Structure 1
């Protein structure tokens, strides 16, 4: 049976097959099948444009080897930009892949809105659920997940901790009169008020940011 795919597709898949030498066979086959599915049905100009977006086969192979060595979900940058079918095939190559290996747009929207507003619906727990949903998805890169987590949790916690330490210091310096002071922060807010205010506003900002970042890759 003749291969009717454009020459540019056949050549790219041959180069990718050669570059993936040494990658575990199941992962190698799933990457090849996934990208072949992504290129299926394209004419030569469209295929050439898509191939340029996918990137160099050696780069895809290098990331696949890294993922294979550490046991993580194999999602090379090029494959992550491919169609949902291609991404699903590559994600399935790893036994460590989670059920959320490929996150649809609705998941990105729901997760981002939960991070932003979940705490207003169910205090504290709603934001926790949003952060957990974010970590279960690969719609965001690891550094984005850490940034969101540290901003939502770390900044308000740090402000409240500083307020508490300052109050304790003030109380000790006053001879333990029984009155717990709170330092005045910018704009006239006390440390306690600042921590609470940040705890409400920062999730909204982070949720909007996650929505923007996630949908850009969708």
Structure 2
């Protein structure tokens, strides 16, 4: 039985190569940031594959023709603070007109449960594709809480994009939100006793921002 009814692992060689470089503990903060931006651009191609299109009539230098354009409201990117911001740059490079929202959550170190401290998201979520971004899908608690909030605000077409996922987090998402597709660069082995992904790459936020 699959971990999730709609889990996609992007096995493109460039994605896997860059992910290996990011996992290396010797990678500098600058290198980690650059690689995360590059890999997010590659992942964005896959996660936006289902955007709807309409046709419009244009004139090329040769003739008039019917050609496709994106349909409906601009898509919404929602970052789970703070590490999710590292995925935004690459996606916005591909879709610069996207609306951007933020949900602030931190994980209680004792209970591993999410604590919300901030949210600011675009309007009319019921008319937009919403892509939630967070580099790590570990326990899944923060991701589930963020998607709970977005559904309360009207979002219906939601996708979750992460760099790494643990089986425990994927199962948690499947139980809470089986209708939300998950797209990731890798499904790792497990979580350790502190809720970190193994083999993983450490704390994505700390490595991205140079903090501990």
Normalised to the residue count of structure 2, the TM-score between the two structures is: 0.24
Structure number with the higher helix fraction is 1
Normalised to the residue count of structure 1, the TM-score between the two structures is: 0.24
Structure number with the higher strand fraction is 2
Q: Looking at CA atoms only, which structure, 1 or 2, has the larger radius of gyration?
A: 1
More RCO (CA 8 Å, sep 6+)? 2
